[in-house]
Amino acid sequence: MRAVVWHGRRDVRTETVPDPVIQESTDAIVRVTSTGLCGSDLHLYEVMAPFMTPGDILGHEPMGIVEAVGADVTHIAPGDRVVVPFNIACGHCYMCGQGLQSQCETTQVHEHGCGAALFGYTKLYGQVPGGQAELLRVPHADYGPIKVPHGPPDDRFLFLSDVLPTAWQAVQYAAVPKSGTLVVLGLGPIGDMCCRVAQQLGVERVIGIDLVEERLDRARARGIEVLDMSECDTDLDVINVIRSFTDGRGPDAVIDAVGMEAHGSPAAKAAHQMTTLLPDKVAEKLMVRAGVDRLAALHLAIDMVRRGGTISIVGVYGGMTDPMPMMTLFDKQVQIRMGQANVRRWSDDILPLLGDDDPLGLESFATHHTSLEGAGDAYSMFQKKLDGAVKVVFTPGAEQPAAGESATPTPLPG
């Protein structure tokens, strides 16, 4: 089969690799029809490289058609159309019973002290071959895959693998009070979807903040208030503008949908660059024992949120000892919730919104579609935020359309 394979920093290639096979009675094999490129994949493309191995298959946002199942898989069968959650969970342990599938005790990666295994995401999370491929072996398929109807286009359901439950959880964790205000920092795929979900769930006022024009325009087109950070000279200016919208207090809740990729923080930028120069074993130790994140977005959230408010962190951070302004957090009585999305915890709540009305605008959510063969260009384009790229979807086996076609799929530049 063809798959997107990691070979080094900023070096991903589409190659022929062996087809996966059933290994356990709870496995399934899925022929992937669509699979997303996530902002978290860019962490592997750059910062998290010390935890990668050349040959790792990337991707954790797949859906497709079941080709084969193990003897103990009964809720899906060959021919079924399924979405595969990015976290791998058993469904019967204590943590799964608590709705914390991202902490599944059966698939926790004890060797590295991490939570549930993830598809296509470093040895810290099990080094499980990912879904940017023509075929995917799905462990614990007796629980994980979500069956969806045939008929509507893949994009109606694909984002149930990650983007939708991640945004849904972020909004739930934000716990915006009735008549409250929510600020979303970062309008990439997750931040954009957080705004849409918050609207859908009845949050009275949603404000999105970014500095990329195309992302601001997308949010504005859906009736979201936006603030262009590039029009403010300092973070304090941003905070003052938001406070002027909220009776001087600040918003009731802030979602940090940026994470370690935030701009700013020269020291953290230097730490990022340092990891690219060190041997992997040394870089690993630096990352698990030191702070390597750019914390600009999180610090902005802490300063911006009103006293007694809530910060919901959905952007991924990777440093172990990142400095936090504990005095400010304590003094302001700020509540913080965070963590990997528990996909199956929220999937039943989200599924009713995936009908014909498409209230979240899922069928037009992706900005680019391309074949697996375009993966190298797609990663580069997405990282550099070129050509209005907000969400890229790979369509394994599908022919890439000619340049200039207005219908999905959308070709990459060049």
Q: How far apart are CA 347 and CA 160, in angstroms?
A: 7
Place of tokens 């599924």: 351
**Average pLDDT, stretch 66-78?**
98
CA distances from 104 to 136, 186, 255, 314 (A): 21, 29, 25, 19
Token readout for 215 is 């992302």
Q: Which range, of 7-16, 76-85, 282-291, 343-352, averages the lowest pLDDT? A: 282-291
What architecture is domain 166-338? 3-Layer(aba) Sandwich (3.40)
Place of tokens 């009305």: 357
CB 105 within 8 A of CB 95: yes
Token readout for 198 is 């918050």
Q: How far apart are CA 360 and CA 340, in angstroms?
A: 22
* Per-residue pLDDT tens digits for 129-145: 999 999 999 999 999 99
pLDDT band at residue 315, thresholds of 50, 70 and 90? confident
pLDDT band at residue 318, thresholds of 50, 70 and 90? low
* Identity of the residue numbered 5: V
Residue ranges per structural domain of the chain: 2-162+343-394, 166-338
Token readout for 139 is 């462990």
Token readout for 366 is 């992706």
The verdict on pTM exceeding 0.75 is yes
Give the per-residue pLDDT at 66: 98
CB 370 within 8 A of CB 400: yes
**How many alpha carbons lie under 13 Å from residue 375 in its C-beta half-sphere?**
30
* Per-residue pLDDT tens digits for 364-402: 999 999 999 999 999 999 998 899 999 999 999 765 433
Rg (CA), the chain: 20
User: Does a cis peptide bond (omega within 30 degrees of 0) precede residue 409?
Assistant: yes
**Average pLDDT, stretch 53-64?**
96
Q: Which residue has the higher pLDDT, 356 or 79?
A: 79
Say if residue 290's pLDDT is above 90: no
Q: Which CATH number fits domain 2-162+343-394: 3.40.50.150, 3.20.20.70, 1.20.1250.20, 3.90.180.10?
A: 3.90.180.10
